[in-house]
Amino acid sequence: MASVAGASGAQSDVEPPATAGPSENGASPFRFDAHGTRSAFADARRGQLFSHVSADHATIYRAIMDVFAKAKAQYRLQLRPDEVLTEIALPAGIARPDIDQLTQHLDALVRWGNLEAQQDMARWSSIADFKRNYKIYRLSKPGEAVEAALQRYDEVLRQRAELQTVALADIEQLLRALVALTSSKELDADKVRSTLRELTGVFATMTENAAAFMAGVDRHLNPSDVEVNNVERYKKQLIDYLERFVSDLARRGDTISDLIQALDSHIESMLFAVAERLAPDAAPDAEQDAEQDAARRTWESTDAVLAIRRQWKDRWTGLRGWFVNSNNDPSTADLLRQKARSAIRQLAIAIKEINDRRTGRSDRSTDLRTLAAWFLSCDSETDAHRLARVAFGLNPARHLPLDTAQEEYVPPSTPWAEGPALRICPRLYQLGDGPQRGQLPGVKDRSADRRRIQQLMEDESNQVAEARRRFATALPMRLSELGALNTNEFALFLALLGEALDHQIGPDAPTDILTGDGSLLVRLEPLGADTHAEISTPSGTLAGRDHLITITPAWS
């Protein structure tokens, strides 16, 4: 390889241009030497394409690459250093380089393979200009790929964790369109292909956003690393998404599942028709001979048709697994619904964690871990001892003793070992709070209050027992024949009636239940739909359909 030394002393290799497609030996389209093998220099350069991200002056390198990426989007082929210096945008606090420093940065990007450089012969007007080695720079193919990768990386990290209700509506509409196509006498492969392609596009976008949502929930609501700003910013967005998406998923999920199952008997023929339609557009294999190329015209038996059909079959299987349960495994939609519900619990835990911090409650283990990190950051043993004295309250604090009447004044800076002994109240040592000054409150006799409460409990128990004796007769009674009930009787009867109605399968079905405490068996039998019952109580009148109720003690 010939090399031309630049003015800066760096050498740039002069290589043959990269091939536009695969080489004869099947290698990938990178630089090749005279023998057709991949250049070792090209392999080494590929490993340096991301060097500018972690190198010194990485901010300046990224700003330079942004200028070239913007120029590429504006269809500008190449830039001179002075043009780059004019257009470069640096964040606050970063010194703007001069033209010589910028040229050095550009040459470094050329060495790493992100840019390409060539002599700027348009500026040559004298021998002195030739010696100055003017260059023009442009984005290289590997550099363009790196910029696209970094841009995609940025987009994924900044992607909002959305659950799109619009996508669910689009999926339902497209599935209905597929069902309508199955009813036609002759299947329209073009319409099926366009509908399936649009369906998979919408579904892929919804899947990507749902995955970002699930990851965002775990990232923003992690109880071990809760940030107030993250939770406050994320709370309203999360609740809004859950209100819209979960309700829409519950409303449309069954409909989408039914549509998918309705297509199960037709999907094989539809996918085969799409594969037949797309197979002629598949690129031929360069290694196939004429006979093999002629055999490809029988689409039903070619590898192209089978490969395309298998690809669409995999996509349909993924879509089906999202909304239809299989092999006793819940669908992805059900799992996403569970994740959305658990996000509410995680949000409550995160808010509780923040409230605990605001009210002064703290996690002792977290405090000790933080203190350990502070100890590790101490520069000397003296600093560590100072931190220990401050953290555990070991600093001299003789202004805090309870005994203030001392014969001799001792300044607060006196160390404990050098000062006189102090009498410390045990309450102060155990609870951190000294005894209250003044007269202690007298002991109050509460025996009368206890007797009154005990009498109230006995009266209430007797009233409940009396109500049980009235109802638990093991004989059927019509609600219309109960008459008037006092407050305790009505409370017991309403509780029994509520339990029975809660377990009733239908409005005309009889019900047999055991009460929650296991003491009574209740049977409730509805009478005719035209019957009517009224029960008078001190709070008003309870009216409704008449029933036959039988209450039996469980031990009888």
* 177 in the same domain as 141: no
Distance, in Å, from the CA atom of 180 to the CA atom of 14, rounded to the nearest integer, reads 62
Mean pLDDT of 228-256: 72
User: What residues contact 334, with CB distance under 8 A and at least 6 apart?
Assistant: 325
Looking at 126, 156, 186, the residue that finishes a domain is 156
The domain in which residue 196 lies consists of 161-282+293-346
Greater confidence (21 vs 448) lies with: 448
Distance, in Å, from the CA atom of 43 to the CA atom of 477, rounded to the nearest integer, reads 93
* 539 in the same domain as 480: yes
| Residue in this structure with the two tokens 């598949």, named with its chain if needed | 282
Mean pLDDT of 377-401: 77
User: Could you tell me if 504 and 524 are in contact, meaning their C-beta atoms sit under 8 angstroms apart?
Assistant: yes
Asked if pLDDT for residue 35 goes beyond 50, the answer is no
For the packed helices 99-112 and 58-73, what is the interaxial angle rounded to 10 degrees? 80
| Residue 376 pLDDT | 93
| Residue 329 pLDDT | 75
Cβ–Cβ contacts within 10 Å for residue 146, how many? 22
| Residue 219 pLDDT | 67
Q: Which residues pair with 526 in a beta bridge?
A: 547
| Residue 157 pLDDT | 62
Residue 549, SS3?
Answer: strand
Domain presence at residue 135:
yes
Cβ–Cβ contacts within 10 Å for residue 482, how many? 19
Asked if pLDDT for residue 150 goes beyond 90, the answer is no
Write down the H helix ranges in 435-486.
447-471
Domain presence at residue 8:
no
* 428 in the same domain as 478: no
| Residue 378 pLDDT | 92
* 514 in the same domain as 410: no
Mean pLDDT of 198-208: 82
* 406 in the same domain as 333: no
* 322 in the same domain as 247: yes
* 316 in the same domain as 170: yes
Percent of the chain clearing pLDDT 90 (strictly above): 4
Dihedral angle computed from the Cα positions of residues 387, 388, 392 and 395, in that order, rounded to the nearest 10 degrees = -80
* 319 in the same domain as 230: yes
User: Could you tell me if 77 and 138 are in contact, meaning their C-beta atoms sit under 8 angstroms apart?
Assistant: yes
Cβ–Cβ contacts within 10 Å for residue 160, how many? 10
pLDDT tens for 518-537 read 778 888 888 888 888 888 88
* 274 in the same domain as 171: yes
pLDDT tens for 96-115 read 888 888 888 898 899 888 89
In a 10 Å sphere around its CB, with 0-12 CB exposed, 13-18 middle and 19+ buried, how is residue 72 labelled? middle
Specify the range with the lowest mean pLDDT, choosing from 203-207, 232-236, 340-344: 232-236
* 194 in the same domain as 139: no
Q: How many residues does the chain have?
A: 556
Greater confidence (284 vs 556) lies with: 556
| Residue 256 pLDDT | 86
Q: How does residue 26 score in pLDDT terms, banded at 50, 70 and 90?
A: very low
Domain presence at residue 360:
no
Structural domain total, the chain: 4
DSSP state of 29: S
Domain presence at residue 226:
yes
User: Could you tell me if 299 and 270 are in contact, meaning their C-beta atoms sit under 8 angstroms apart?
Assistant: no
* 95 in the same domain as 148: yes
Q: How does residue 334 score in pLDDT terms, banded at 50, 70 and 90?
A: confident
Q: How does residue 450 score in pLDDT terms, banded at 50, 70 and 90?
A: very high
The CA distances from residue 268 to 25, 310, 325, 413, 477, in Å, are: 39, 10, 20, 89, 63
* 198 in the same domain as 81: no
Looking at 108, 126, 156, the residue that finishes a domain is 156
Looking at 412, 432, 452, the residue that finishes a domain is 432
Q: How does residue 268 score in pLDDT terms, banded at 50, 70 and 90?
A: confident
- Burial string for 392-417 (b: 16+ CB within 10 Å, else e) reads eeeebebeebeeeeeeeeeeeeeeee
Asked if pLDDT for residue 76 goes beyond 90, the answer is no
Q: What is the CATH number of the domain that holds 85?
A: 1.10.10.10
pLDDT tens for 431-443 read 766 666 777 777 8
Domain presence at residue 119:
yes
Residue 137, SS3?
Answer: strand
| Residue 12 pLDDT | 38
| Residue 453 pLDDT | 93
| Residue 556 pLDDT | 61
